[in-house]
């Protein structure tokens, strides 16, 4: 891996996928390298030889971890908009060469075995109850009564 050949001790990745807050790239790279990893981080800090990582959870809850380097961190979107770079710095950066490295196929040991695959069984069909609240309530009451729910 490029991280090992360049003797990197910290890999930063974007974290969000289109359908999930915690995408799979960070744990995948962490597993490839055998390094600890944290996704959804909103704050990083160094404390001695440890990396202190605050991870966003749902509903405004956050968890803070201390992990050793090397590590892979999935970075959450910043809460403040980034500052703009001056034109002279942009021109200077545009002259910097971007290196390329060959990709290597990932090699994992199989940790699960597929025992069987089959199509799901046929199930009953649903019923559209309409959009009139009185009719919906009446139909629900009759369905529940037919299923043995007394007092409906």
How many structural domains compose the chain?
1
Q: Does residue 130 register a pLDDT over 90?
A: no
Does residue 74 fall inside a structural domain? yes
| pLDDT tens sequence across 3-62 | 888 888 899 988 776 666 667 888 888 988 999 999 888 889 988 878 999 988 878 888
Does residue 126 fall inside a structural domain? no
pTM of the model: 0.57
- The mean pLDDT value of the chain amounts to 84
Alpha helices in the chain (DSSP H): 2-5, 25-33, 87-94, 133-146
Coil, strand, or helix at residue 71? strand
Given this model, what pLDDT does residue 66 score? 94
Does residue 33 fall inside a structural domain? yes
Domain of 44, CATH number, reads 3.40.50.620
Domain residues for 16? 2-78
């Amino acid at each position: 891996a490029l991280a090992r050949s360049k003797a990197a001790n910290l890999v930063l990745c974007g974290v969000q996928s289109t359908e999930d807050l915690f995408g799979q790239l960070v744990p995948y790279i962490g597993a490839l390298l055998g390094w600890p990893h944290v996704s959804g981080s909103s704050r990083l800090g160094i404390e001695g030889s440890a990396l202190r990582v605050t991870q966003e959870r749902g509903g405004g809850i956050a968890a803070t971890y201390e992990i050793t380097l090397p590590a892979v961190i999935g970075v959450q979107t910043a809460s403040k908009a980034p500052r703009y770079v001056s034109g002279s710095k942009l021109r200077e950066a545009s002259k910097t060469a971007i290196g390329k490295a060959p990709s290597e196929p990932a090699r994992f040991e199989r940790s699960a075995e597929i025992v069987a695959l089959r199509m799901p069984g046929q199930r009953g069909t649903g019923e559209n109850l309409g959009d009139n609240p009185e009719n919906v309530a009446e139909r629900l009451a009759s369905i529940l009564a037919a299923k043995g729910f007394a007092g409906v």
